[in-house]
Amino acid sequence: MRGLQILVDGFAISTLYALGAIGFSLIFGVSGVLNLAHGGVMVAAAVAAWYIAGPLGAGQYIGALAGVGFGVIIAFATYGLAVRPIQRSRAIPRDETEIFVLTATLLWGIMIQEAIAYFFTDSPITVRPLVNGVVDIFGVRTPANEIMTAAICWVSIGLLWLLVNRTRAGKTLLAASINPRALTLLGFELSSVYLLVWAIYGVLAAIAGVLLAMFLGTSSNNIGVLTASAFSIVVLGGLGSVSGSLIAAYIIGYLETVTAYLISPTLRTIPSLLLLVLVVYLRPQGLFGRR
């Protein structure tokens, strides 16, 4: 019975991890940006959903939609205020742009954390679930919201797959991730491509943030932890590999779930961190990354 409980709970948390990490990986694959404000985007969306649904009394459905919208706004603000000015600056040497972008997004994430704590709260918050009740899965009683969380995550991942593989805009994103210079020679504006990928990223990260607040709860103090978690998954799967991030999210999600159930919840992150260190040492490009 415990094994089945681990399978169910691990699937839900792994899918949630995957949704958040895929957006992080997509941004790096297309635009080459490691966004260290990633956790800030997720928590900002969660806090907006909580505030609009709770204190403002708009209900959980309106709150969830508003939270996703606000997360997209924060993603665009990250690009427009922290990333784009550095990429366009002539005062910064081209070979130093990446470290400046890393620093800027890190500081931007800290600013988001402090703003949330000042204007709202730094205490843990929980968004009311979209569905209530309990579902019986082969004798394992599981909250219906947990099943809904996994379903929404997989629908979002499926829609992303359709966008990338079945639309002209998606194939443009793929081309930008492979050879952006060739794409510009064909007459495409990279700035438009980057705006599109940041919009997609904002939607994915915001949905993950809102669902996280419904599933486990979150707070402004979790911003660094969420960023580190997404970064670990992306490094494990291979930087820029969306499919690698998906598989790595399930590896880490189930490792954490097994550790929490069989050893201690306080030690749940230790095995995944040890695995990450081992992979970085033996295979620096990640499990599915290109050399």
Bridge partners, 125 (sequence order): 218
Q: CA–CA separation, 49 vs 244, rounded Å? A: 30
Give 30: exposed, middle or buried? Use CB within 10 Å, 0-12, 13-18, 19+.
Answer: buried
Look at the block and give the residue holding tokens 């949704």: 19
The length of the chain is: 291
* pLDDT digit string, tens, across residues 223-256: 988 888 888 888 888 877 888 889 999 998 898 8
Alpha carbon distances (Å) from 150 to 8, 9, 17, 155, 208: 10, 10, 10, 9, 10
Q: What are 252-281's pLDDT values in tens digits?
A: 889 888 888 888 888 877 887 788 888 878
Contact 74, 45 (CB under 8 A): yes
15 in Cβ contact with 154 (< 8 Å): yes
Cα 234 to chain centroid, rounded:
10
Outline where 32-96 has alpha helix (H).
38-53, 60-77, 84-88
- What the chain holds in terms of domains, given with CATH numbers, is 2-282 (1.10.3470)
| Selection from 79, 82, 43 nearest residue 217 by Cα | 43
pLDDT tens track, the chain, 291 positions: 677 888 888 888 899 999 989 999 999 888 888 899 999 999 999 999 999 998 888 888 999 999 999 999 999 999 999 999 998 888 888 888 889 999 999 999 999 999 999 999 889 999 888 888 888 777 778 888 888 999 999 999 999 999 988 898 888 888 888 777 777 777 778 888 899 999 999 999 999 999 999 988 899 988 988 888 888 888 888 877 888 889 999 998 898 888 888 888 888 778 877 888 888 788 877 777 655
Q: How many CA atoms lie within 13 A of 2 on its CB side?
A: 6
